[in-house]
Amino acid sequence: MDYPPKTLLETRIFRVEQVMQLVDGQPHPRAIVRHPGAVVVLPLLEDDRVCLIQNFRIAVNATLIELPAGTLEPHEPPEHTAARELIEETGYIAGRLEKLHEFLASPGILDERMHLYVARDLTAGPAAREAGEQIENRIVAWDEAMALVDRGEIRDAKTLVGLLWWDRRRRKSP
**SS3 string of 89-134?**
HHCCEEEEEEEEEEEECCCCCECCEEEEEEEEEEECCCCCCCCCCC
Q: By the 8 A CB rule, do 145 and 138 touch?
A: no
Region for 8 from its dihedrals, namely left if φ exceeds 0, alpha if ψ lies in -120 to 50, beta otherwise: alpha
CA separation (Å) from 81 to 91, 114, 150? Answer: 14, 11, 30
Catalytic residue among 133, 136, 144, 153: 133
133 as an active site residue: the answer is yes
Q: In angstroms, rounded to a whole number, what is the distance separating the alpha carbons of residues 162 and 51?
A: 12
Category of 96 on φ-ψ map: left (φ > 0), alpha (ψ -120 to 50) or beta = beta
Residues with a known catalytic role: 133
